[in-house]
Amino acid sequence: MVSDAPPVSPRIWPGRSYPLGASPDSAGVNFAVFSQHAERVELCLFDEALGAPAVETLELPERTGHVFHGYVPGLGAGQLYGIRVHGPFDPRQGHRFDPRKLLLDPYARAVASDVDASAPVFGADPRPGRDDAAPGGGDSAAAAPKGVVTAGCAGPKSG
């Protein structure tokens, strides 16, 4: 049987679908992102909060229901990250997926920077009278806020 799935990087493992967000443990960080209509989700890792490109981009290798997830060994508290989500661009259906836009994880427990609104961070042209049904601008990674992995937030304990 031939799979259409991209090969899994040895740098990222399947991980868990819960809890959502970034959950560190003693050996790495689990990332879990919900998206009902996404086709794939990329995790972007950064060394600087503003002005620099990602130092590494990893596709989250697993999907459980509507949750994309992966575990990156060797990462820990303080790691800066963002997500890129691939999917349909169909504003009439409420879909505005644009992988050129770096997104802040809505479950991020800390945020490293503000938005540089002078950069191409908007999904459409925000000026009055402009067409908001077309993707806007270019890559937003250098100017978008980044999530920060925080220690001590590994989720609920069982038992």
Domain hosting 65: range is 21-148
pTM recorded for the entire structure: 0.84
Residue 69 lies in a domain: yes
Residue 78 lies in a domain: yes
Residue 16 lies in a domain: no
Give mean pLDDT in consecutive 10-residue pieces for the chain, a chain of 159 residues: 56 97 97 98 96 95 98 97 95 89 96 76 61 72 94 55
CB < 8 Å & 24+ apart, contacts of 46-53: 46/80, 46/81, 46/82, 46/141, 46/146, 47/80, 48/80, 49/80, 49/112, 49/113, 49/145, 49/146, 50/113, 50/116, 50/142, 50/143, 51/142, 51/143, 52/142, 53/141, 53/142
Domain with residue 110: its CATH number is 2.60.40.10
Residue 81 lies in a domain: yes
- Report how many domains make up the chain: 1
Residue 10 lies in a domain: no
Q: What is the pLDDT of residue 79?
A: 97
Residue 154 lies in a domain: no
Q: What is the pLDDT of residue 5?
A: 52
Residue 65 lies in a domain: yes
Residue 57 lies in a domain: yes
